[in-house]
Structure 1
Amino acid sequence: MSKGLKISRRVIMTVLFLAALYVTWTTLSQVPVSEILGSDYDHPDDIHAAPSLREELGVSAMKAAPHAEAASASVAETVSALEEEINWSQYPVETVTATGYTANAESTGKAPGDPAYGITYSGIPVHRDVYSTIAADPDFFPLGTVLFIPGYGYGVVADTGAAIQGSKIDLYFDTIDEVYDEWGKRDVEIYIVKKGSGEISEEELISLNDQRVLVY
């Protein structure tokens, strides 16, 4: 066998080996090709592809940023600790239907650049933390009402919505991925920590989050 033929066979065998190794890796790891290459990877259930689901969840198509994911993890850890450490039976309980929303146009009708973008009915900016801004029916939960929602954290009623009537609440999230991964839509028992006076200020919300845990 000539030297050139031997080299050709070795090259072919190497290529076949690498191809087999690649197929095995992607099959076992379930990592998409686009992710391996470092390109953008759309959520398989991207909300743009499912308008009925978008309407059902009441959320917009905003993708998650690394810092948002880190902040979300921190909030989740605190909420989990609160659920275990506080005796929630001391508070009145209400069963509600809770959905999630973001500040984007598909949830609020407003886009970045709009002076009212990200501003709640109460006038304070939307905010996600241990104490987050949420929307509710003010006849059911007046502005300033503090609720504890298991799996979400404290919700401070600062916003309203035409579809949020009676025993419905809308929970603010920074991104659409958080709505998908952390909430969606569910019926949940919530705890009424403090009944609101009908108003809430940004300073009050900041103060609540500075304290992190406040039991009335």
Structure 2
Amino acid sequence: MHLTTTVLRRTLLALLVSAALYVTYNQLTGLTHNDWYESNTLDTQIHEQVIQEASSEGLLIKENASVREAVAQIEEFANFDAFPTRRVMATGYTAGMESTGKEPGHPAYGLTYSGVPVSRDVYSTIAADPDVFPIGTVLFIPGYGYGVVADTGSAIQGEIIDLYYDTVEDVFAEWGKKEVDVYIIQEGNGQLSEDEFRAFQENRAVDGFTPPV
């Protein structure tokens, strides 16, 4: 009984202190609860309007856009003219036996040389010769999207890159093998972590990189 009374007293005291602080703050600032509500609502509306305007102008990749739609949007609105280019032979690969010699269940299945899991999205994992494009290098490949060098391969020597796709059918249907001029967006330092790759994937800006000086 004594414990219950003590708890009630402390709760009542806390409520009284909170009420006193609230009243004092309102008197000092002149703000009411409605003012806070209206201010927060306005801030939210402004934020949403900015996002909508940016999206409508092509500055942000549209939410829920497919990879093809996102790449088309980037190619329409982004300007890569200030970035250096390099002509390469681009092929496609998968995580499967036909490309890596590994099957599902293998401890290294689906993992790139850098340790980052393979991924096909607006920013995809690709393989390259690290003497040409160090691990962590970001390329823009017209028709494919951003490729982040995360992998290597015994057959990937010199001016060759290997673009990741989920299936062999996707490789043949969407790419095959072709020469292409790629844009060197950001040169890597030889390493790539999952957090770094995730940060790339979360970048929704169509033209989210600063050209080199």
Quickly name the TM-score band, shorter chain normalised: 0.5 to 0.7
2:122 equivalent in structure 1: 130
Which of 154, 161, 177 does residue 146 from structure 2 map onto? 154
> Of 158, 165, 176, which residue of structure 2 is paired with 1:166?
158
**Residue 200 of structure 2 corresponds to residue 208 of structure 1:** yes
Does 1:89 find its partner at 2:81?
yes
What SS does the corresponding residue of 1:88 show, helix, strand or coil?
A: coil
Measured in 2, the distance between the counterparts of 1:145 and 1:166 equals 15
Letter in 2 for 1:130: V
SS at match of 2:74: helix
CA distance in 1, matches of 2:194, 2:92: 21
How many residue pairs get aligned? The number is 145
**Partner of residue 179, structure 1:** 171
TM-score by length of 1: 0.65
- Counterpart CA distance in 1 for 2:139 and 2:204 is 14
Q: Which is greater in Rg?
A: 2
Query: Within 5 A, what are the aligned runs for 1:103-114?
Result: 103-114=95-106
* Distance (Å, rounded) in 1 between the aligned partners of 2:153 and 2:71: 25
Deviations, residues 115-172 of structure 1 (Å, cap 9, x unaligned): 0001100011101110000000000000000000000000000000001011100000
Tell me which residue corresponds to 1:59.
none
In 2: Cα distance, 1:87 partner to 1:153 partner? 14
How many angstroms apart in 2 are the aligned matches of 1:183 and 1:139? 24
Task: Tell me the alpha carbon deviations over residues 35-57 of structure 1, each in whole angstroms, 9 at most, x when there is no partner.
Answer: xxxxxxxxxxxxxxxxxxxxxxx
Which of structure 1's runs of 4+ aligned residues deviate more than 4 A? none
TM-score where L is the length of structure 2: 0.66
Q: Secondary structure at the match of 2:180?
A: strand
Aligned mates of 1:166, 1:107 — CA distance in 2:
18
Cα distance in 1 between the residues matched to 2:162 and 2:128: 6
- Could you tell me which runs of 5 or more consecutive residues in structure 2 were left unpaired when the two chains were aligned: 1-64
Among the aligned pairs, what percent are the same residue? 62
* Contact residue 136 and residue 168 of structure 1 kept, 8 A: yes
The one-character-per-residue Cα deviations of 1:184-209 (angstroms, maximum 9, x if unpaired) are: 00000100000001101111111111
What SS does the aligned partner of 1:169 have?
strand
